[in-house]
Amino acid sequence: MLAGLLLLALPGANATGFSADAAAPDGVGVATFAGGCFWCMEPPFDALEGVISTASGYTGGHLEDPSCEQVVTGRTGHYEVVQVVYDPAVVSYERLLHVYWRNIDLLDAGGQFCDRGEPYRTAVLHHDDEQRRLAEAALQRKTERFETGIATRILPAATFYEAEGYHQDHYRKNPIRYRYYRFTCGRDARLRELWGDEAGGCGSRRHPERWQWATDARGYAPKRLGVPLIFRDVRVLPWLSFVVTAG
């Protein structure tokens, strides 16, 4: 709540975050990242010292102020993104990039993990020339590290539309549902394949109780769920709850 009030008090900010052409006030940085499901992209940034707030939302499409139901059809052109407001004196944009890369599958051009389609593509949305320069330099280093092509794009930031309230801080509001989704989506298993011990890339964790990975020693990662999208994407069903039993 306090972080949200601080954000709204900043010049250039509004209920839907920072617009693409609004300069952040002195002493505050804004970063926007597309990394597939935005539920999973808030925790690693929230855990960093120097991050003021995170918000899940949509950007890059042709429809103004879209809903989740519209975006997940894949017909609006939007990315699911997390917008990070941070203190550059405490955490650098380069550090945010480091965390970002280690929380995505940068080789997947068709989505992320079990989430397929345009909304789940990966991209770094830069807000100024310096962010663009740093993002392009980081991308070049990843190109040298991985033999296959990098799917992540570097793009200018566009209008950011904040997602519905039930999406914000979902991992804290609904921890069981979040962990179930993350586990069945195979996110952590794939991140370990790509990054090994670097997966997550968080380092300093100001709220360790918020940073709990859904892990499985067997590396279980279902490739697809054979049901229609509306049921596969549980995020459009905020009323749905899960009962997870051992067995």
Q: What is d(CA 20, CA 37) in angstroms, rounded to the nearest whole number?
A: 21
- Which contiguous run of DSSP H or E holds residue 171? helix 170-173
User: Rounded to the nearest 5 degrees, what angle is found at the Cα of 158, between the Cα atoms of 110 and 5?
Assistant: 110
Q: What is d(CA 191, CA 101) in angstroms, rounded to the nearest whole number?
A: 10
User: Rounded to the nearest 5 degrees, what angle is found at the Cα of 8, between the Cα atoms of 53 and 177?
Assistant: 40
SS3 232: helix
User: Is residue 107 a contact partner of residue 121, using CB atoms and an 8 Å limit?
Assistant: no
Which of 37, 40, 68, 202 is flagged as catalytic? 37
Q: What is d(CA 104, CA 101) in angstroms, rounded to the nearest whole number?
A: 6
| Distinct helix (H) and strand (E) counts, the chain | 9, 10
Q: Is 40 a catalytic residue?
A: no
Q: What is d(CA 204, CA 207) in angstroms, rounded to the nearest whole number?
A: 9
Question: What's the start-to-end Cα distance of the chain, in Å?
Answer: 38
User: What residues act catalytically?
Assistant: 37
